[in-house]
Amino acid sequence: SQQGEEDPQALSIQEGENATMNCSYKTSINNLQWYRQNSGRGLVHLILIRSNEREKHSGRLRVTLDTSKKSSSLLITASRAADTASYFCATLNAGGTSYGKLTFGQGTILTVHP
């Protein structure tokens, strides 16, 4: 199985509600990043959290990292229809020959209904 697995695979909510997506990984990491992808488009970097950080905020986004459980969560508060997209977590491993290589999860498809 692969590093960086998100759940749920799909999430459908109403505008104004909060959306929470989870990500689990398997190896020691340098940092974990969240990306957003609109259908048929490229990825947009949302937020990066380092392995020595536990929580980070950016606007309506809140990311937590629990290295003991090898898991992270992305919370989008007060969701909007424009937040509809796929969300991916990606890990950068700590050291070794995998320097520079991001490992992506399968993604969570978020649908926000107006």
Partner 1 sequence: NAGVMQNPRHLVRRRGQEARLRCSPMKGHSHVYWYRQLPEEGLKFMVYLQKENIIDESGMPKERFSAEFPKEGPSILRIQQVVRGDSAAYFCASSTGARGNGYTFGSGTRLTVV
- Contact set with partner 1 (CB under 8 A): 2, 4, 30-31, 33, 35, 40-45, 48, 50, 88, 90, 92, 97-107
Least distance CB 27 / partner 1 (angstroms): 14
Question: Can you say whether the dihedral through the CA atoms of 36, 104, 106, 8 is positive or negative?
Answer: negative
| Nearer of residues 19 and 87 to partner 1, judged by Cβ | 87
Query: What are 99's two structure tokens?
Result: 């320097």
- In the complex with partner 1, which residue's Cβ is closer, 100 or 114? 100
Helix (H, G, I), strand (E, B) or coil at 83: helix
Is 18 or 38 the residue whose CB approaches partner 1 more closely? 38
Name, in order, each residue with C-beta under 8 angstroms of 114's C-beta and a sequence gap of 6 or more.
15, 81
